[in-house]
Structure 1
């Protein structure tokens, strides 16, 4: 068995197979109560599949690895982090799993001094949305009265219609991942907050004795209480 993650022509094979992996899918069936029949089920559409697996990236050679150690564990980490806002295909050979997915969550850390980096990766099936343009309303396009067009339809949006960004002050224990999770529902969007506040974050990091906010290839790793961030829409 092999497990591959691919983004276009870029791909990595997981060097250590997980002891187990989980695939789940929910359906949108509904149960309603009919007065003369009691509870009945209304069939719904199939939901998106999710795949979750836990393993580690080796810091040394292991005889049970899929291939010899050829890179630092954090090279894998950086690669997966760079794919968090992209579609990623997961393929598990010898199974029926070959899905285009998005990364829903990705956590990692070092449990001991071996240099191994443990991780948990959760992925959700990606279905690309399709759009249909609505037909033009001919009645609204005809100016049958011969007069001026309705000014209400020609008003430019005012300031009240513009999306407004929010402000957030960093508290002790905060991470950009957690803040993104709070405001966007997805920690993987932390780069959006970092890019909007790059100068502020880097300035705070240097003020606290850091060369930059980057740690182990992750920008915005170091953030400090009292730093005021703009949370873009």
Structure 2
């Protein structure tokens, strides 16, 4: 089975021969008095990925250089940039059948946790880098607005001034109708207010059958 590693936008010239993926969980075990140990199942933790990659300083015929040969420092600079930027990136591993068909792949967003540069006489001019990644999950903060209750204003005692009394003269005992008068207008003028009941009572007091019909010269008892 062949591998294909896409590390952000970078393809390593020599694909790592081994890949470790640790699928973690956050389960916890507690002991109950009568039941003994029980396992509390929780949401799966973040996947951890580790592998070693050979970065050649010599152009090998079995290596793949999509954009032309680059020395080991080119890839080391890329790793340093990913580490210092503190940004997640895409990590894709594809498993290929001998025929070249895709078997299955892993595609996840990860962060570069740490890497170790190994130089040895066994590697000649080449450099081996041990890389550790951790799965990255998008998250967002929720903004909660807490409104503090406003302090209630203390009640203020209001001084109510007595209404000035008016010594208005009492209404006359009778009124002689002129053109344009109505019982409604007479009640408003002499009693200060008017209702349908008041006009009906005034009409009954004066033997008027139709409260809406009075005539000039007619004397109305108030």
Q: Normalized against structure 2, the TM-score is what?
A: 0.58
Query: Whole-Å Cα distance in 1 between the matches of residues 32 and 94 of structure 2?
Result: 46
Q: Considering fraction of residues, name the structure with more helix.
A: 1
Query: Whole-Å Cα distance in 1 between the matches of residues 140 and 69 of structure 2?
Result: 41
Query: Whole-Å Cα distance in 2 between the matches of residues 107 and 123 of structure 1?
Result: 12
CA RMSD of aligned residues (A): 1.8
State the match for 2:79 in structure 1.
80
Alignment partner of 1:123 is 2:133:
yes
State the match for 2:50 in structure 1.
52
Cα shift at 1:70: 1.1
Contact 2:59/2:69, CA 8 A, preserved across alignment: no
Query: Whole-Å Cα distance in 2 between the matches of residues 137 and 44 of structure 1?
Result: 34
Query: Whole-Å Cα distance in 2 between the matches of residues 117 and 88 of structure 1?
Result: 23
Query: Whole-Å Cα distance in 2 between the matches of residues 27 and 138 of structure 1?
Result: 40
Query: Whole-Å Cα distance in 2 between the matches of residues 52 and 105 of structure 1?
Result: 10
State the match for 1:70 in structure 2.
69
Contact 1:31/1:40, CA 8 A, preserved across alignment: yes
State the match for 1:103 in structure 2.
112
Report the secondary structure of 1:63's partner residue. coil
Aligned residues: 140
Contact 1:48/1:124, CA 8 A, preserved across alignment: yes
Structure exhibiting the larger radius of gyration computed from Cα positions? 2
Query: Whole-Å Cα distance in 2 between the matches of residues 114 and 30 of structure 1?
Result: 47
State the match for 2:27 in structure 1.
29
Cα shift at 1:111: 1.5
Query: Whole-Å Cα distance in 2 between the matches of residues 32 and 145 of structure 1?
Result: 54
Cα shift at 1:81: 0.5
State the match for 2:91 in structure 1.
90
Cα shift at 1:109: 3.2
Q: Which runs of 5+ in 1 are unaligned?
A: 147-233
State the match for 1:137 in structure 2.
147
Q: Which runs of 5+ in 2 are unaligned?
A: 96-103, 155-222
116, 124, 128: which is aligned to 1:114? Answer: 124
Question: Following superposition, which runs of at least 4 residues in structure 1 exceed 3 angstroms of deviation?
Answer: none
